[in-house]
Amino acid sequence: MPTKKCPFCAEEIQEEAIKCKHCGEFLTDKTKTEQEKWYFKTYTIVLAFLCIGPLALPLVFLNPKYSLQKKIAATVIIVILSAILIALSVNSLKILNKYYQQLFELMPAG
């Protein structure tokens, strides 16, 4: 029967082992995802971006599962989207201001 060494205690264990019989540590990748913090999950980061925009960037930069390229790409995308949304908001406010100025000019004094 093929064997391998446990990455935690270096004892010999079976190749198909899920848990080390010597130290009790789980050997599957599933335990790594179970230990992932809730605020590093993708849906939490997306929800944070939708609610607070660029203030959610620390969740991306502190996330250990993202590479540096992904972190930089996410930052660039969020900054561009934020700039576009700010420009659209300013433009909307200008249009509303013009509308109300015209409305008040048409109203009779009194």
Contact between 41 and 50 under an 8 Å Cβ cutoff? The reply is no
As a whole number of angstroms, the distance between CA 70 and CA 35 comes to 22
Residues of the chain with pLDDT under 50: 31-33
Q: For the chain, how are helix, strand and coil distributed in percent, rounded to 5?
A: 60, 5, 30
The whole-number pLDDT of residue 33 equals 46
> Taking the model in full, what pTM does it have?
0.55
As a whole number of angstroms, the distance between CA 30 and CA 2 comes to 22
pLDDT tens-digit map of 94-105 = 999 999 999 888
DSSP string, 11-44: -EEETT-SB-TTT--B-STHHHHHTS-GGGSHHH
